[in-house]
Structure 1
Amino acid sequence: MKIRVGFGFDVHQLRDNHPFVLGGLTLPHTKGAFGHSDADVLLHVICDALLGAANLRDIGFQFPDTDSALKGVDSKLLLKKTIELVSEKGYSVSNIDCTICLQKPKVNPFIPEMKAIIAGILETDIDAISIKATTTEELGYVGREEGVSAYCVCLISG
């Protein structure tokens, strides 16, 4: 059996009156993450961690922001395609651990639903998905609500 670890980091700017998509959900907030796709920073870091673990480069390589067909794409589709690529290499998810960094909104009430969405896409047990959230105590771009970032580490085996 082979096991591999992957790591992901992503950041998106926040804009007023823009939808805030996180973990496959649209959260109620006055600001939202902006990007070429739906800017779901959580799903993006999971994609990056999985792609890195399987030595498949990164999300920007697999799903470039120069591809007009991906403009506004639902990141759940990107995660589905990512796990298909990882599976083609003979790997499956052992576990995923993520941390979201944002000042507002509070995401703790939404974490169980996010975990269920992600586990469903990855076809893995919900217990294999860990999502945590933290603020930066009002410091930096996260604290000023100018952006949101996320980190992810994953373990795949095959």
Structure 2
Amino acid sequence: MFGSLRRQLDYRDIVAIEGSSRKDLSVILEAFSKYLHEADPSLTSTEVLARWLWERLNTPPLSNVDSVIHCEISMCRQDTSEDDLDPDELFIIKKNDENQDEDAAYVFRGKSISGDRLLNSLKTYGHSYEQQKWSRWVHKIKASDFDFKTSEPKPSDDKID
């Protein structure tokens, strides 16, 4: 199932990740795909990716996947009052606790070119996953599934003189 999504990624993104082989990227994508597949379907893939990275970066590395993520991706705190949050950036908003007065947004960024490419590959994979889910849903829909009946009467053919 996930193999077809992996083929949709730009081959340059996969091969160009410096310091990581194609096999390493596949392992990272498989770990994320498992998490994405088990996630709440009401969340977007971008939200799921942000949560997955948050969990990976807030715990000590327990696997090679965690180690690579710790080496390649950083998490930077930004106040949510700032209007300069780029909608294209991957971020997660955490509610304030007793020590903080306001909510904060944590933005994920690559620590190097290879980290940027890894982050881009993960986002692309998530978008491909959403497109595949949408495509499967659309192919299951029939015209009869849509009820176009309205309470308004149909116009009559009678002409008023």
Q: Same fold, TM exceeding 0.5? A: no
Say which structure, 1 or 2, has more relative contact order (CA 8 Å, 6+ apart): 1
Higher-strand-fraction structure: 1
Higher-helix-fraction structure: 2
TM-score by structure 1 length? 0.25
Structure with larger Rg? 2
